[in-house]
């Protein structure tokens, strides 16, 4: 079939699960195409064919957790590096926010395959999402994501005087990083030394590099929202579960 596509890729495109999860389910015989069980990795299908998953896959997926953490400075988002601990090491029964009203019970097995859905630099603080669910990760960091990320950014002027209006307009749209144009951003002054910046992308150290390009130095950066999910009153170094009713 000229328009055929790998089954695992199609499952990811449809938001059923991540490609890695799809491959696991296929190997276990938990995936059907037009009613027929497919257990061969690499199988290609036509986009119009109907994909269903067995109840065992649905049950396993329902057990996956998504955690929101208020990352303090000095912790990295993912793998440990240069002696700095990853944010996941903060997740335990004692650091769970007492105001978390979800009925989920913490168990160390929830730490398995718990990965960050997006970066937050070591010297940045605020809302970080850790998830076992490939659907959540794809929603937040997939190539076609449109989920907004909101930041409060404290800055210091490196040039005399206030930031010219044309420079503020550049922050909103017109800058390039690594030779590629950035998507439009929402940028507004909150006070004399703090900006509110809303992005729909997350290139490495993007906000710091954007600010440097217009003569501002970032001295503090806090992420306060991802999509419809807000950091709120979650204390630094503590975490809570994503509520079943919350959607990014």
Which active-site residues does the annotation give? 121
CB 130 within 8 A of CB 117: yes
Half-sphere exposure of 75 (CA within 13 A, CB side): 20
Q: What is the secondary structure of 69-115 as a DSSP string?
A: EEEPTT-BSSS-BTTBPBGGGG-SGGGB-TT--------GGGGTT-E
Question: To which residue do tokens 């064919």 refer?
Answer: 49
> SS3 for 207?
helix
Write out the two tokens for 110: 């929830």
**Tell me, what DSSP letter sits at residue 217?**
E
Cα angle 148, 153, 154; round to 5: 175
Q: CA-CA distance, 225 to 12, in Å (whole number)?
A: 25
Nearest Cα residue to 247 out of 11, 9, 14, 15:
15
Nearest Cα residue to 172 out of 147, 193, 152, 200:
200
Half-sphere exposure of 65 (CA within 13 A, CB side): 20
CB 84 within 8 A of CB 76: yes
Write out the two tokens for 217: 């130095």
């Amino acid at each position: 079939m000229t328009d055929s596509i790998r089954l695992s890729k199609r499952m990811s495109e449809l938001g059923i699960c991540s490609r890695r999860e799809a491959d696991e389910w296929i190997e276990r015989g938990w995936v059907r195409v037009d009613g027929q069980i497919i257990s061969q990795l690499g199988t290609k299908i036509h986009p119009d064919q109907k994909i269903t998953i067995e109840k065992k896959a649905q049950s396993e997926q329902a057990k996956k957790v998504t955690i929101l953490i208020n990352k303090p400075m000095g912790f990295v988002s993912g793998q440990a590096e240069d002696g700095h601990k990853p944010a996941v090491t903060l997740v335990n029964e004692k650091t769970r926010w007492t105001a978390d009203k979800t009925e989920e019970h913490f168990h160390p097995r929830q730490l398995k395959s718990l990965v960050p859905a997006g970066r937050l630099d070591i010297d940045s603080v605020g809302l970080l999402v850790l998830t076992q669910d490939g659907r959540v990760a794809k929603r937040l960091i997939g190539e076609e994501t449109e989920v907004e990320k909101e930041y409060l950014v404290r800055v210091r002027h490196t040039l005399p005087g206030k930031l010219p209006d044309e420079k503020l307009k550049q922050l909103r749209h017109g800058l390039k990083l690594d030779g590629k144009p950035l998507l439009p951003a929402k940028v507004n002054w909150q006070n004399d030394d703090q900006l509110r910046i809303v992005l729909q992308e997350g290139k490495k150290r993007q906000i710091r590099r954007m600010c440097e390009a217009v003569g501002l130095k970032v001295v503090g950066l806090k992420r306060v929202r991802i999509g419809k999910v807000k950091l709120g009153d979650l204390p630094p170094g503590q975490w809570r579960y994503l509520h079943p009713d919350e959607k990014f």
